[in-house]
Amino acid sequence: MGLKQQQSHHHSVAVKVNEQMGTKRGYTFIQANRAWLPKFLLLWVMVMAFLSTWIYKKMDADNKVRRKEVLSSMCDQRARMLQDQFSVSVNHVHALAILVSTFHYYKNPSAIDQETFAEYTARTAFERPLLSGVAYAERVINSEREKFERQHGWTIKTMEKEPSPIRDEYAPVIFSQETVSYIESLDMMSGEEDRENILRARATGKAVLTSPFRLLGSHHLGVVLTFPVYKSKLPPTPTVEERIEATAGYLGGAFDVESLVENLLGQLAGNQEILVNVYDVTNPSDPLIMYGHQNQDGDLALLHESKLDFGDPFRRHQMICRYHQKAPTSWTALTTAFLFFVICLLVGYILYGAAIHIVKVEDDFHEMQELKVRAEAADVAKSQQFLATVSHEIRTPMNGILGMLALLLDTDLSSTQRDYAQTAQVCGKALITLINEVLDRAKIEAGKLELETVPFNLRSILDDVLSLFSEKSRNKDVELAVFVSDKVPAMVKGDPGRFRQIITNLVGNSVKFTERGHIFVKVHLAENAKPMVDAKGETCLNGGSDEGLLISGARQFKTLSGYEAADERNSWDSFKHLVADEESRYDASINMTVADEASENVTLMVSVEDTGIGIPLIAQDRVFMPFMQADSSTSRNYGGTGIGLSITKCLVELMGGHISFISRPQVGSTFSFTAVFGRCRKVPYSDAKKSNAEDLPSGFRGLKAIVVDGKPVRAAVTRYHLKRLGILVEVASSVKIAASACGKNGSSCGSKIQPDIILVEKDSWLSGEDGSLSFRMMDWKQNGHVFKLPKMTLLATNITNAELEKAKAAGFADTTIMKPMRASMVAACLHQVLGIGKKRQAGKDMPNGSSVLQSLLCGKKILVVDDNMVNRRVAAGALKKFGAAVECAESGKAALKLLQLPHSFDACFMDIQMPEMDGFEATRRIRKMESQANEQMNGGLDEGSARKGEWHVPILAMTADVIHATYDECLKCGMDGYVSKPFEEENLYQAVAKFFIAKPISDS
């Protein structure tokens, strides 16, 4: 069972951790940028497109460069070969020229005639494949023309085959190859081109070329090569004149450039790919085409020019190559780039898909988590509803059981039977308590519990709680005390009900487990905890041995009761620092409060110290787990379920604090918790008075008292309570000291403290010096030193009759102040002792039994509002039984009418579910009415003379519903409490006691 519990606890922790993790995970990179994902994808695609374009361009450029290189190398190669072939031919012509000069001129008579020349040239034509034919023209000067014509037997003709007109010089062809025999006897000088060629050739002595023209025979483009033939041997460096002079004739040949190039290209690889043009660029502005077509469609973008040197320095030629076709689209580059792009696209898409998937999964995860939380919440809500229903259903039969048991107990039973029945009743009550607690806890876990923030008086709540346990503690002879630091504000804002629950739980636990010693509740500001720790350190330094004082052979500790406590911080050594601290700051308190009030909240540190059996060390770490007790024997010995502390812990955490404890087995435990409360700023009077303001009489202001107590902590507690009543307190550690203090007073004529009352702790009184005090008193009286004899009162946790008699004899007042002390109770006792104010019965802190109820309700006028006749009658009957005067109203409206101010009702019991106007609405209206009246009254009357209370009739809801939600709503609309229907004595008492107990004293 325990393990299970633990697991579920862990489970809820795990859920919380998960939630935290979840929120953290929510901020991963992907999640945070989820809106950007498509943009990322787009960006990626764009970058990749750009990249692939770049790749394509680069590859394309590479291709182009390569193509260009190929072109240029091919072009160069062609040019070089053309040049080579050309020069071979030229060389051959040169050789022919030498032949002519050798055999025609140096031999006399000439060894060459036309026939020989034709024969020779025809046979050597293979050497000159490029030359369509060669011919030799002799230089003939006009004066020699006739001689020459005669010699050869024909006249010199022009190109047009006309007889040549007279010129200075002629160059008639005398020898010709057969292929060009038609030019025999033609004057080469008659053609403009040829003439220029001849002149240039003979001047330079080198082979010269004409510009390209259509050859006569083949209509191919061609050039004529002219080579000079000199008669005599020239000097090594002949001048132009010498050359001209020596010129004998000219050897010429027609180069068929077109066929030449055609042939050449035909021999080379890659002929189809490129286009070759050969130009004569002697005049750069007008290039003359030698080969190829002028208007060719080819790749005009890319061309390569190669220089050609045909050996004529005057003429320049060049070869221009270009590709036949435009550069083919580079498929490789295109494919590569495209594939690259596609791959990147896919990668991008995969990444995007993954991211989207992650986001989706995370979203799903969050959603699931939320659903899970919701499902859990629904589960909790359901189980809570279930619990509420079940508890309701259990309560009904349990009431039957309890009622029957009560009936049974009323009958004559043997002692064993009675014991059985009582045990059964106790168990039944415990069961109902348990159900309520489980309900509470379920509610806290479901987060349904909301703390209210209303101003309340912390001190009076502590007093109330203590009074609840006073009976039990008194029976056990355990001292129960409360101390609230002065610095704790009188009113704080918070949830009084829950605070009371916490304190009740802790004190209840302590009472349960403590058989001797004390239970001490202490409240101070959390900031004060530090000086206390410091103080503790100090005492250690000063030698911690003084912790235990050896008094009458037993180790005595400076705690409230003298028993050792688990947490030494509560011992007097540190406690006195706290008290002293407060006193030292008392003067500065005005400043302090101003400073303190600057902050909105106040953190209180509450500790509950007991000297009980403590918690075994092994059990200490699971104290706050539900249903965990020290060991299974605990519940057998002490009862209880162990759910209380876990609820307490939840509540403390809801209040913004935390709880911890120090426990030593067989020594005691100290539970301390902090809680944050709101500070009340200048609370309006009506508000402060509303429900739980401290209704303490002011009649004791200015009185002086001496507290005689050997134990400083206890004395401080007593002083605290007296101080609340406005009494000035001096502490004396023994009767003797007190007496001497008084005595001094007496002698110095009351210039110092003149005590009105002396409160003596029973222990101090019993410790031997009983006689002396009264003796002294008598002494004073006789001497007349004292104007008014101080009253003497005994303080005791419990007192036997014998002791009481003895005390009376010793001069103490009849009324003994019984512990635990509560300010209101002390006040009542002092009233009796001092005779101030109305005398009222003081000790009415016996909270059980119908007799008490009777005393509470007796004479009270109560209004019962219920639409159901039967219910009304029953409720009225029940209340009448306790002596109340009951009036009935059958609807909210009727109640409103009856409660018109002023009225004399002391309380009102209101049914909630009524037709027309339900209980909530009626209460709201009543409260509204009252507050209006209060305003008027406060405006009209001086506050002091105003009736003590204001108009605030206690309204209690009557409901069959035990669920707390209804209760909360009751409080919300201004009700003071609720009683379950049908009435139960105890329940009725608890509800009624709240405002009927405080009343009598304040009602003066």
Partner 1 sequence: MDIVSQLQRQFIDYSASLHHEGFVDDQFTQLQKLQDENSPDFVVEVASLFFEDCEKLINNMARALEQQQGVDFKQVDASVHQLKGSSSSIGAVRVKNVCISFRSFCEAQNREGCLRCLQQVTHEYSLLKNKLQTLFRLEQQLLAAGGSIK
Question: What are 768's two structure tokens?
Answer: 């031997």
Residue with tokens 């219920």: 866
User: Six-digit token pair at 62?
Assistant: 């590479």
Report the distance separating Cα 78 and Cα 276, nearest Å. Answer: 9
* The one segment of 19-27, 161-169, 575-583, 875-883 that binds partner 1 by CB under 8 A: 875-883
Q: Could you say which of 189, 229, 388, 402 contacts partner 1 (CB under 8 A)?
A: 402
Question: Hey, is 695 helix, strand or coil?
Answer: coil
Give 425 or 635: the residue with its C-beta nearer to partner 1. 425
* Binding piece for partner 1, criterion CB under 8 A, among 135-143, 403-411, 550-558, 940-948: 403-411
Q: Count interface residues toward partner 1 (CB under 8 A).
A: 25
Minimum CB separation of residue 960 from partner 1 in Å reads 7
- What is the footprint of partner 1 within residues 90-149 (CB under 8 A)? none
Does residue 390 interact with partner 1 by CB under 8 A?
no
Q: With CA atoms as reference, report the closest residue to 364 among 791, 25, 764, 807.
A: 25
624 near partner 1, judged by CB under 8 A: no
Nearer to partner 1, 558 or 981 (CB): 981
Distance between CA atoms of residues 439 and 340, nearest Å: 69
957 binds partner 1 (CB under 8 A): no
870 binds partner 1 (CB under 8 A): yes
- The window from 205-213, 379-387, 878-886, 930-938 that contacts partner 1 (CB under 8 A) reads 878-886
869 binds partner 1 (CB under 8 A): yes
Rounded to 5 degrees, φ, ψ at 40 are -60, -45
Choices 257-265, 448-456, 707-715, 977-985 (CB under 8 A): range interacting with partner 1:
977-985
Q: First-to-last CA distance in the chain?
A: 56
CA atoms within 13 A on the CB side of 979: 27
> Where are the strands (E) in 657-727, listed by range?
659-664, 668-679, 704-708
Helix axes 712-724 and 572-584, enclosed angle (nearest 10): 40
Distance CA 155, CA 187 (A): 10
Closer to partner 1 at the Cβ: 605 or 991?
991
- Binding segment toward partner 1, per CB under 8 A, in 701-709, 729-737, 790-798, 873-881: 873-881
Match 């005090």 to its residue by tokens. Answer: 773
Q: Which stretch binds partner 1 (CB under 8 A): 58-66, 399-407, 604-612, 970-978?
A: 399-407
- Is 982 a binder of partner 1 (CB under 8 A)? yes
The residue within the footprint of partner 1, chosen from 840, 880, 903, 994 (CB under 8 A), is 880
Minimum CB separation of residue 403 from partner 1 in Å reads 3
Residue 755 contacts residue 706 (beta carbons within 8 Å): yes
For residue 529, count other CB atoms closer than 10 A to its CB: 17
CB count in 10 Å sphere of residue 675: 26
- C-alpha atoms less than 13 angstroms from C-alpha of 716 in its C-beta half-sphere: 28
Q: Is 858 in the site for partner 1 (CB under 8 A)?
A: no
Exactly one of 30, 373, 404, 654 binds partner 1 (CB under 8 A); which one?
404
Closer CB to partner 1, 125 or 404, in the complex: 404
Structural contact between residues 608 and 506, judged by C-beta atoms closer than 8 angstroms:
yes
Nearest Cα residue to 539 out of 578, 579, 573, 571: 573
> Collapsing DSSP states into helix, strand and coil, what is residue 908?
strand
Stretch that binds partner 1, among 112-120, 722-730, 784-792, 866-874 (CB under 8 A): 866-874
Judged by beta carbon, residue 18 or residue 399, the one nearer partner 1 is 399
Rounded to a whole number of angstroms, the minimum distance from the CB of residue 954 to partner 1 is 22
Of 302, 345, 960, 997, the one binding partner 1 by CB under 8 A = 960
User: Residue holding tokens 């130009």?
Assistant: 279
Check if the beta carbon of residue 892 is closer than 8 Å to that of residue 916: yes
Candidate segments 137-145, 356-364, 619-627, 861-869, binder of partner 1 by CB under 8 A: 861-869
C-alpha 653: how far from chain center = 22
871 binds partner 1 (CB under 8 A): yes
Residue placing its CB nearer to partner 1 in the complex, 181 or 990: 990
Contact status, residue 574 vs residue 535, Cβ threshold 8 Å:
yes
Closer residue to partner 1, CB minimum distance, 491 or 876: 876
Task: For the CB of residue 639, give the shortest distance to partner 1 in the complex, in Å.
Answer: 24
Select 270 or 877, whichever has its Cβ closest to partner 1. Answer: 877
881 near partner 1, judged by CB under 8 A = yes
Please report whether residue 768 would count as binding partner 1 according to CB under 8 A. no
Q: Which stretch binds partner 1 (CB under 8 A): 108-116, 398-406, 515-523, 591-599?
A: 398-406
Q: How far is the CB of 411 from partner 1 (least distance, A)?
A: 10
DSSP structure class, residue 120: H
- Least distance between partner 1 and beta carbon 987 (Å): 12
849 is a contact residue toward partner 1 (CB under 8 A): no
Q: Which of 568, 756, 845, 867 binds partner 1 (CB under 8 A)?
A: 867
- Binding part of the chain for partner 1, among 400-408, 676-684, 890-898, 969-977 by CB under 8 A, reads 400-408
Nearer to partner 1, 871 or 938 (CB): 871
Other residues' Cβ atoms within 10 Å of the Cβ of residue 344: 17
> Which range of residues in 130-138, 317-325, 765-773, 871-879 is near partner 1 by CB under 8 A?
871-879
Of 690, 736, 785, 873, which one interacts with partner 1 (CB under 8 A)? 873
Question: Buried b vs exposed e over 254-278: b needs ≥16 C-beta within 10 Å?
Answer: bbbbbbbbeebbeeeeeeeebbbbb
Q: Which two tokens stand for residue 172?
A: 């008639």
Helices marked H in 545-658 — which ranges? Answer: 572-584, 589-597, 632-638, 644-654
Stretch that binds partner 1, among 494-502, 594-602, 697-705, 860-868 (CB under 8 A): 860-868
- Residues between 909 and 928 with contacts to partner 1, criterion CB under 8 A: 913, 915
Say whether 85 sits in a helix, a strand or coil.
helix
Nearer to partner 1, 315 or 981 (CB): 981
Report if residue 399 touches partner 1, rule: CB under 8 A: yes
- Minimum CB separation of residue 25 from partner 1 in Å reads 46
Handedness of CA 790, 795, 800, 803 (dihedral sign): negative
By CB under 8 A, name the one of 441, 443, 522, 981 that touches partner 1. 981
- Shortest CB 424 distance to partner 1, Å: 15
Looking at the Cβ atoms of 426 and 595, the one nearer to partner 1 is 426
Say how far apart CA 649 and CA 66 lie, in whole Å. Answer: 87
* Residue 668 to residues 477, 542, 567, 609, 828, Cα–Cα distance (Å): 16, 25, 8, 7, 33
Residue entry with tokens 């009935």: 888
Reported residue count of the chain is 1004
Contact residue for partner 1 among 874, 901, 946, 963 (CB under 8 A): 874
Strands (E), 144-263: 169-170, 173-176, 208-209, 213-214, 221-230, 247-255
CA distances from 720 to 469, 599, 608, 717, 970 (A): 20, 26, 17, 5, 35
Structure tokens at 418: 């009675």
**Based on CB atoms, which residue is closest to partner 1, 500 or 872?**
872
Helix (H) or strand (E) holding 970: helix 964-972
- 885: contact with partner 1 by CB under 8 A: no
CB of 413 to partner 1, least distance (A): 16
Which residues would be at the binding site for partner 1 (CB under 8 A)?
399-400, 402-404, 407, 866-871, 873-875, 877-878, 880-881, 913, 915, 960, 981-983
